[in-house]
Chains A and B, each alone.
Chain A
Amino acid sequence: MKRSKTLITQALSTLKGNIERTGDPLGFKHTYWTEWTNGLGLPKGGKTVLLTARMYQMLPYVIQTTDMVASIKPLLAIKGFGKALSMGNRLAGETVIRLKAIGAKEIKARGTRVLKGIVAALNGVGEHPAYLYEAEPYSGVLLYDLGLEEDIAPHINKVYELLKGHGVEEVIAVDPHTTFMMKEIYPKYIENYDIRVKHYLEILSEGKGDLGDVSHKDLPKEFVMHDSCVMTRDLGIVENVRKLAPNMGIKLLEPENTKLDTACCGGPVEYAFADLSRQISSIRIQELARICKDIIVTCPICLINLMKYEADLGVRIWDMGEILHVALTDRFS
């Protein structure tokens, strides 16, 4: 709780500065979000695009950033350190975080598998979205969540103009936060907003095609479902994974708090309050682990926050995209 004001001020200033300078919440000028597409041959433009909004690709860097925040927190009491930190972040933040993230190969590989699995599943139901590669924008959801009101409108307008400039009419998002932002918040800032936004799970369970029987021997037979707060309570996407489970030959078990009453993973406050985030995630992971050791999530923030317990509790967190990757990559990629 001590130094919270300084910490939040620094977090807000850094985020604002990063997005103004580079359009990226981490402040990276280097394009780090397109590597996952290697070998997929996704078309570069089209009316329907897959929008990753960099969420899964950011995971290795997010781990490094939150570790750094935790380590510098005690120093924030020193007068002037905050300003020095901002300067340091602008000059060397990208290099430091990138170098440290090199070690996080496993989480990078998981993010890649998630996105490849999603593409394979979309292909499986006859949907072949394009991808904007280096031009792909960040949705700005952190600006909104943290109340940086004056910065939201310019960012949203930039993203909208970029999408319209590429002839985009429909967006298929891969994470609930981007879906919520583009579906529910963008229309409040843009008059006559005309981009259709769907989450990929909506396409898979309500779309034109059916995945058919895609059960796979390498998948566990039972999972416990951890619903994302944004997915269920903001977007109303509750039954979609449950509808798809029989196609993959898996049984879904329900934890104590589930569906519309799901409990948060603690991820949204990890950027500043790692201790509190850890206490919240610890409560949730125990609820889940009591039911089953294999846990399904549908959100990159839930994935990164719950996977910290894999070694200690002997659990395995599976993003839905990873499950789709195991089940489908050989068939539809």
Chain B
Amino acid sequence: MNKKDAAKETLLKEIAKCRSCRFCVDVCPTYQASEGVESMSAYGRLQIIKYLLTGILEFDDSLTYCLYSCLQCRRCEVICKSKGQDIDICKIMQMGRSLLSQNLVQGSSNEKI
């Protein structure tokens, strides 16, 4: 397994820990500022990364906006921990971006991850 595939597998395993309780949604500053768009919350972003990794979604303007607008402020992690999960959401965001960013910079015609 190459480095990229290993990173994808790690990411999917981490995302699978999410129990979809959605307590992280309300506390996200970008969700609050966008007046209730779930894809602008931690939970929404995890789902986007999952579906990009599994090829269900394709990377476009809207998804770029959702993923690169995460503040990485970790407010979601505080609530995640308090509900007994403790997922490193920012690490997942950073890894998700790292799979995407290199393709974007290299101007690849296929920016799927």
Contacts and interface: CB of A to CB of B under 8 A. Distances in A.
Contacts of A269: 30, 68-71
B33 A146 contact: no
Interface string B17-30: 00000000000011
Interface in A242-287: 260-264, 266, 268-269, 272-273, 276, 279-280, 283-284
- B interface, how many residues as a size bin? 20 to 34
B75 interface: yes
A276 B34 contact: yes
Contact of A268 (B34, B71, B78, B101): B71
Contacts of B74: 229, 233-234
User: On chain A, which size bracket covers the interface?
Assistant: 35 or more
Q: B interface, by DSSP: helix, strand, loop or mixed?
A: helix
A160 to B, nearest CB: 20
B104 A4 contact: no
Chief secondary structure at chain A's binding surface: helix
A279 B107 contact: no
Contacts of B51: none
Contacts of A272: 68-69
B64 A8 contact: yes
Interface string B91-111: 000111111111011010001
B101 to A, nearest CB: 4
A95 to B, nearest CB: 25
Contacts of A261: 75, 78
Interface of B: 29-30, 32-34, 59-62, 64-65, 68-75, 77-78, 94-102, 104-105, 107, 111
